Amino acid sequence: MARANEEAAAALQEYAELFALTGGDAFRVRSYQKAAKAIAGFPEDISVADVRGVPGVGEAIAKKMEEFLLRGSFRQLDDLRGRVPEGVRRLTRVPTLGPKTAIMLFEEFGIDSPAALGEAIAAGRLDGVRGLGPKTLANLAKGIEQLEQSGRRVHIGVAMSLAEQVAGSLTAERIAYAGSLRRMKDTIGDIDILAVAPVSVMEEFRAQPYVAEVIAAGDKKTSVRTTSGVQVDLRVVPAGSWGAAMQYFTGSKEHNVAIREMAVKKGWKLSEYGLFEGERVIAAESEEEIYAALGMQFVPPPMREDGGEVRAALRGELPELVRLEDLRGDLHTHTDLTDGIASLDDMVAAGHARGYSYYAVTDHAPDLAMQRMTLDKALQQRERVAKLQERYPGMRLLHGTELNIAPDGSVDWPAEILRGFDVCVASVHSHFAMSREEMTRRFIVACENPYVDIIGHPTTRKIGKREPVDADWDAVFRAAARTGTAMEIDSFPDRSDLPSDLVRLAKHHGVKFSIDSDSHAIPHLANQRFGIGIAQRAWLTADDVINTWPLERLRSFLRP
């Protein structure tokens, strides 16, 4: 994704928020938000291409974006930044806290940060205030806690693009990221970069425009905080110790402790410099040599969590993990018929360019009222898909939908309509706060619907923004296995849903999975790499993942 697009979109998004905070017209707020999304997802770099070519960008927005590209801001944004106190803006980051309440809290109580709000609630200063009942206050307190937690870690999408930017910005003989990012964790505390390079790389690093603050500077290690708030550690390592350093700094700590024990048992020593017997180097240059010397299979980084992988690797019993190249298609994507920003033709062309054997179009169904879907529109799209199919003899187009699972477990359309789709994803998009028992029932009823093939983003969490729903996942997964309903691994990095621990649990129950992008724009198709990371962390093989299967096998799973 072009950096200019991301930055311009972020500025427009901020403008939309400030505009809403100052009582701006809701329709215009939506149109700014939509344009911001469209710019972020636009496949061409808007610092080169005309921003007027982005869907949803009219003349007024285009002018703002052009000014932004010239000087990093625009007049109207500067105005609003001046008018809205920073304290009010900080407050609105608390989930469930709306702009009106934020302004009231700031003006009447002088509360100017989530932390100050937390203290005021704890001290009972807001008890009895109109509009702030005990339940509202409890929700706000929970929101503050969530916000604090999310402030410490970022999701893998943010970390990955930053790590790639850092690696690309430095002059080194060898450079790579290690740590939790290499293990493909869904959230990342800090980014660990290793390099084989002259010491001057440290100075080069500190001078980068993405560096906001240097936390520690040395010849071997430099730590900085970037403009996006994420910490990056850069370590320079000797070329001959590259493998040992990668092994050590990839972690996890628990995996390393287990590995080091293996070395000690043999009377050897393992460190970030190598595997040694006394002074003699047994292995150091590559990770492969180190694992081999310890008498184990090479352990892929996503498995290095001390979750049984050491024992399995010693016995030669590691599974053959599913790889990105194994995916033959995508079973959950959107177009501009609902909330996607690219046309059907463009999305399908982009899927084809990725070499897929099949590609499903699954726009939203009518119960998500905001999307204004109708049966007529769905049927018209089906005709367009059939027509488009003629252009792609090597790729099977599947016409599907993303249904909404109602609180009682039912979905938008009756059986005779559902029958006409090639694939039905069904997801929870509302009523997130049901009791565990009701929510479990809701998912089980959805699984039992013979037309529901895949449960989309099952926990519905949004990292740092929305907690997962509460359900008895053992019961849900048993129902999924029994009814032949796949669980989705939604690859959108802020969702990463199912998370890997639940994937592993589901696999234990015999569930199959679909690794989907849930794309709303062309660049999102590439997010499947994150879904593969989740699958690998859960020890999945290609056989566990329905969209690695040949079309015939997939179709008999979808419509047995």
Is there binding between residue 252 and ligand DGT (CB under 6 A)?
A: yes
Is there binding between residue 502 and ligand DGT (CB under 6 A)?
A: no
| Helix and strand totals (H; E) in the chain | 23, 17
Q: For residue 346, what are the CA distances in angstroms to 288, 336, 422?
A: 42, 10, 20
Q: Are 149 and 158 in contact (CB under 8 A)?
A: no
Q: Hey, which residues between 395 and 454 contact Zn ion (CB under 5 A)?
A: 427
Tell me how far, at minimum, the Cβ of 228 lies from Ca ion, in Å. Answer: 15
Is there binding between residue 214 and ligand DGT (CB under 6 A)?
A: no
Specify the residue, 224 or 293, whose C-beta has the smaller distance to Ca ion: 224
Residues near 339 by Cβ (< 8 Å), separated by ≥ 6? 364, 370, 371, 520
**Rounded Cα distance, 374 and 366, in Å:** 6
Is there binding between residue 253 and ligand DGT (CB under 6 A)?
A: yes
Residue the block writes with tokens 């320079």: 236
**Rounded Cα distance, 180 and 291, in Å:** 19
Tell me how far, at minimum, the Cβ of 223 lies from Ca ion, in Å. Answer: 8
- State which residue has the least CB distance to Zn ion: 427
Tell me how far, at minimum, the Cβ of 238 lies from ligand DGT, in Å. Answer: 17
Specify the residue, 242 or 443, whose C-beta has the smaller distance to ligand DGT: 242
Specify the residue, 68 or 249, whose C-beta has the smaller distance to ligand DGT: 249
Is there binding between residue 305 and Ca ion (CB under 5 A)?
A: no
Query: Of Ca ion, ligand DGT, Zn ion, none, which one does residue 413 interact with (CB within 5 to 8 Å by kind)?
Result: none
Is there binding between residue 101 and Zn ion (CB under 5 A)?
A: no
Specify the residue, 188 or 321, whose C-beta has the smaller distance to ligand DGT: 188
Is there binding between residue 179 and Ca ion (CB under 5 A)?
A: yes
Beta bridge partners of 430: none
Q: Are 172 and 197 in contact (CB under 8 A)?
A: yes
Q: State the Cα angle at 76 between 7 and 116, rounded to 5°.
A: 75
Q: Which one of 187-195, 236-244, 331-339, 437-445 is the stretch in contact with ligand DGT (CB under 6 A)?
A: 187-195
Q: Hey, which residues between 182 and 241 contact Ca ion (CB under 5 A)?
A: 190, 192, 233
Helices (H), 405-550: 415-418, 436-448, 473-483, 500-508, 528-537
**Rounded Cα distance, 227 and 113, in Å:** 20
Is there binding between residue 192 and ligand DGT (CB under 6 A)?
A: yes
Letter string b/e over residues 262-274, b meaning 16 or more CB atoms within 10 A of that residue's CB: bbeeeebebebbb
Specify the residue, 52 or 253, whose C-beta has the smaller distance to ligand DGT: 253
Is there binding between residue 179 and ligand DGT (CB under 6 A)?
A: yes
**Rounded Cα distance, 388 and 249, in Å:** 49
Residues that bind ligand DGT (CB under 6 A): 179-180, 185, 188-190, 192, 248-249, 251-253, 256-257
Residues that bind Zn ion (CB under 5 A): 427
Residues that bind Ca ion (CB under 5 A): 179-180, 190, 192, 233
